[in-house]
Structure 1
Amino acid sequence: MKIAIGGMKKNEMEAAIKKASDGKIETVITTDIGAVPMLKKGEVDYYIGGCESGGGAAISILIGMIGYSKCCTVAKNGHVAKKEEVEKFISDGKIAFGLAVDSIDGTIPVLVEALLEHQK
C-alpha cells in the first residue's frame, strides 16, 4: 500500500504513518494537486492531507478534482476519528482523507489500522 501525504505537517504525518504501520505502508510526500494524478494513475492507493480544520485546505482540492464521493474528513479540530467511522468511510470507497493537524497522534493510528485491515 502506498499513501500520498499533503498539506500541513507532512513530515509529522509521514512519521506517524510509518510508526503505526510498522513500515508496511510506503509513503510519498507531495502536494494536494500533485496527489491527484498519482491517485488517478494508481501510483498511490490513498491520500491524507492535513490543515487546521481538517475539512478545508486538507481535502478541498481533492474534492474538486476526484469528486466528493471519494473524499472525507476523518478528524476535525478537537475530534479524533473513531475506528467505526473510518471503517465506514473506507468501505464506502473513500480514498482521500482530510484531518486536522492537531489530531495526527490520535487519528493516524486509527486510520492506518483500518486501511491495513481493509487491504487483507
Structure 2
Amino acid sequence: MIRIVIGGQLNKQAIEKQVKEMGGDNVEVSVKSDLDAVMAVKKKQADYYIGACETGSGGALAMAFALLGKDQCVTLASPSKIKNEQEIENEVNEGKIAFGFTASSSKHILKVLIPAILKVAL
C-alpha cells in the first residue's frame, strides 16, 4: 500500500479523488494541511506528498522544501512549463517524494505521476 498525502493550496479534494481513482486499492490517500502532510512524510507515516497551487512551487511545495529538503522535491508544472511524461517518470525514478504543480495542470500531471509512483513503489 502506497501512502500519499495531499497538501498544497488548491484543488485538494479533486486531486484526492483522481489519485484514489487511479491508484485504487494500491493507495491510501489523505488530505492534510501543508505542515501536517509534510510532517507525515518526514515521519515515514506517508510515502509521497502531492500539492497544487498557482505557481506549482510556492503554496504547493514551500513546506516540503523547508522540511524535506530541495533534493526530495520537484515542481512538475509551473505557469510557464509542464514537464513531459519522460521527465515526470525520471523525477519519480530518481527518488523524489514531494511533487508540486499548478492547479490547472493537475489532471494531466496526475495521469502520468500516479502510474509512475505505482510502478516504482509496488
CA contact 1:51–1:101 (8 Å) conserved in 2: yes
1:30-109 to 2 correspondences below 5 Å: 30-77=32-79, 79-109=81-111
What root-mean-square deviation, in Å, do the aligned CA atoms of Structure 1 and Structure 2 show? 1.4
SS at match of 1:58: helix
- Runs of 5+ in structure 1 lacking a partner? none
Higher helix share: 2
CA contact 1:80–1:106 (8 Å) conserved in 2: no
Tell me the residue number matched to 2:4: 3
Q: TM-score if structure 2 supplies the norm length?
A: 0.90
SS at match of 1:22: helix
CA contact 2:7–2:52 (8 Å) conserved in 1: yes
- Runs of 5+ in structure 2 lacking a partner? none
Tell me the residue number matched to 1:25: 27
CA contact 1:74–1:81 (8 Å) conserved in 2: yes
Residues 9 and 81 (structure 1 numbering): CA distance in 2 closer, same or farther, change over 3 Å? same
SS at match of 2:113: helix
Q: TM-score if structure 1 supplies the norm length?
A: 0.92
Instruction: Choose 50-59 or 71-80, whichever is displaced more.
Output: 71-80
Counterpart CA distance in 1 for 2:93 and 2:116 is: 10
CA drift of 1:80 comes to 4.1
CA drift of 1:75 comes to 1.4
Q: What is the count of residue pairs matched by the alignment? A: 120
The percentage of counterpart residues that share the same residue type is: 33
Counterpart CA distance in 2 for 1:18 and 1:79 is: 26
Tell me the residue number matched to 1:116: 118
